[in-house]
C-alpha cells in the first residue's frame, strides 16, 4: 500500500491568490484541507469549488494557526504538505511527489526540504543568495510542527530529512503597497522578539526551535547565519548584509526588479527592524 498525502492551506481574505494555489495543489494526489480565519471576501466560495474540507479557526499568529491545524484537523494522510495561499506547486514538484508517494517511503525518512522560488513583481529572484532557500514544508504526519515564533518561523521535523529538486513558487506580493505594509508588520514582530531575547536570560526551548548549526541542513545553516547577523551592531548589519547580498552574491543580476526587491527586502526591511529595536531600547511606545 502506498503512502498518502494531505495538504493544509491557511487563508484570510485571499480571493486574489487562492484559486491559483488550489489549482496547483490539485496536481497532487492528495486531500486538501483549508483553515480560514474569518475571510469576508470570496475566499470560501472559491475554496468550496476545490474541497469540502474547510475549517474555521481564529488567527492569533502563524505558528499557533499552523500547529492548531496539525493537531485538530481530521488528517488521515501519511504525509502533510503545508502551503500558504500565495504558494504555487510547480508541475515538476507535483510529478516528483506523486512518484514518491506512489510507493512507501523509507521509514527512516520523516521530512522533505523544498526550495522556495520567490516571484516578485512577476520576476523570479534567482540571485543574491535568495535561491535556493529550503523549507521543511512536507513531513510525515506526527513528526513535524511549526516553531512558536512570531516571525521567521520554520517547520521543525523530528528525524531525517531529504532535499527535493523541484520548487514551490512563492508569490510574495501583489503590489508594493501590500509588500511594505506586510514587512512593516513583520519588522515589528522581529524587533520585539530580538529586543526580548536581548533582555532576558537564555531559556531552554525544550527542543521546539530549530538549533543553529553551520554544518547542519540548509535550514539549520540559515539559522546559524541569522544568529551571526544578529550579533553585529544595529544599523551596521543591514549595510553589510545588503552589500554581501547585492554585490558579492550577484543580486544585481536580477535587474531593475531585483534592485527593488533586494533593496527593500535586504536593506530597508532590516534597517526598519533595527530602528524599531532602537526605539524600544530608548523606552519608546511599545511597538
Task: Residue 117: give its domain's CATH number.
Answer: 3.90.550.10
Query: What is d(CA 162, CA 158) in angstroms, rounded to the nearest whole number?
Result: 12
251 and 182 within one domain:
yes
Q: Which of 271, 250, 267, 244 is nearest to 125 (CA)?
A: 250
Which residues constitute the domain of residue 14?
Answer: 5-171
Q: How far is CA 91 from the centre of its chain?
A: 20
Cell of 22: 488550489
The answer to whether residue 30 is domain-embedded is: yes
Exposure b/e, 138-152, CB count within 10 A at least 16 = b: bbbbebbbbbbbebe
Give me the pLDDT at residue 174, please: 79
136 and 75 within one domain:
yes
181 and 165 within one domain:
no
The answer to whether residue 26 is domain-embedded is: yes
The answer to whether residue 267 is domain-embedded is: yes
Exposure b/e, 214-242, CB count within 10 A at least 16 = b: eeebbbeebbbeeeeeeeeeeeebbeebb
Does 202 score more than 90 pLDDT?
Answer: no
The answer to whether residue 23 is domain-embedded is: yes
pTM: 0.92
The answer to whether residue 15 is domain-embedded is: yes
Domain end (from 171, 193, 219): 171
Does 206 score more than 70 pLDDT?
Answer: no
Q: Structurally, how many domains does the chain consist of?
A: 2
Q: Which of 89, 160, 124, 107 is nearest to 257 (CA)?
A: 124
Q: Are 287 and 188 in contact (CB under 8 A)?
A: yes
Does 2 score more than 90 pLDDT?
Answer: no
DSSP 3-state assignment of 193? helix
164 and 217 within one domain:
no
Structure confidence at residue 201 as a pLDDT band (50, 70, 90) = low
Does 92 score more than 70 pLDDT?
Answer: yes
84 and 39 within one domain:
yes
The answer to whether residue 41 is domain-embedded is: yes
159 and 21 within one domain:
yes
130 and 47 within one domain:
yes
Does 176 score more than 80 pLDDT?
Answer: yes
206 and 133 within one domain:
no
- Tens-place pLDDT, residues 239-256: 999 999 999 999 999 999
Q: Are 138 and 165 in contact (CB under 8 A)?
A: no
The answer to whether residue 287 is domain-embedded is: no
101 and 205 within one domain:
no
The answer to whether residue 286 is domain-embedded is: no
Give me the pLDDT at residue 198, please: 80
152 and 192 within one domain:
no
Cell of 96: 516528483
Tell me what the mean pLDDT of segment 42-46 comes to.
98
Helices (H), 48-90: 62-72
44 and 132 within one domain:
yes
Domain end (from 137, 171, 205): 171
155 and 241 within one domain:
no
Domain end (from 143, 171, 199): 171
Structure confidence at residue 62 as a pLDDT band (50, 70, 90) = very high
Does 203 score more than 60 pLDDT?
Answer: no
Does 96 score more than 80 pLDDT?
Answer: yes
Amino acid at each position: 500500500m502506498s503512502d498518502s498525502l494531505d495538504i493544509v492551506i491557511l487563508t484570510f481574505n485571499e480571493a486574489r491568490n487562492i484559486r491559483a494555489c488550489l489549482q496547483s495543489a490539485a496536481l497532487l494526489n492528495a486531500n486538501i484541507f483549508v483553515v480560514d480565519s474569518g475571510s469576508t471576501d470570496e475566499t470560501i466560495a472559491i475554496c468550496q469549488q476545490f474541497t469540502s474540507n474547510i475549517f474555521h479557526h481564529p488567527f492569533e499568529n502563524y505558528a499557533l494557526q499552523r500547529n492548531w491545524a496539525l493537531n485538530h484537523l481530521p488528517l488521515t494522510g501519511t504525509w502533510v504538505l503545508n502551503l500558504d495561499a500565495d504558494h504555487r506547486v510547480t508541475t515538476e514538484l507535483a510529478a516528483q511527489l506523486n512518484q514518491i508517494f506512489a510507493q512507501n517511503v523509507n521509514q527512516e525518512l520523516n521530512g522533505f526540504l523544498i526550495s522556495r522560488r520567490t516571484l516578485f513583481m512577476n520576476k523570479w529572484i534567482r540571485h543574491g543568495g535568495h535561491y535556493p532557500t529550503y523549507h521543511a514544508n512536507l513531513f510525515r504526519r506526527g513528526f513535524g510542527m511549526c516553531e512558536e515564533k512570531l516571525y521567521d518561523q520554520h517547520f521543525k521535523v523530528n528525524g531525517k530529512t531529504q532535499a527535493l529538486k523541484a520548487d514551490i513558487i512563492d508569490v510574495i506580493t501583489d503590489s508594493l503597497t501590500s509588500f511594505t505594509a506586510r514587512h512593516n508588520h513583520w519588522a515589528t514582530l522581529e524587533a520585539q522578539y530580538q529586543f526580548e531575547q536581548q533582555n532576558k536570560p537564555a531559556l531552554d526551548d525544550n527542543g521546539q526551535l530549530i538549533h543553529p548549526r553551520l554544518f547542519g541542513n540548509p535550514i539549520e545553516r540559515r539559522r546559524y547565519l541569522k544568529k551571526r547577523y544578529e550579533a553585529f551592531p544595529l544599523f551596521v548589519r543591514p549595510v553589510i548584509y545588503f552589500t554581501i547580498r547585492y554585490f558579492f552574491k550577484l543580486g544585481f543580476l536580477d535587474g531593475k526588479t531585483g534592485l527593488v526587491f533586494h533593496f527593500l527586502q535586504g536593506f530597508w526591511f532590516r534597517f526598519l527592524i533595527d530602528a524599531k529595536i532602537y526605539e524600544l531600547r530608548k523606552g519608546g511606545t511599545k511597538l
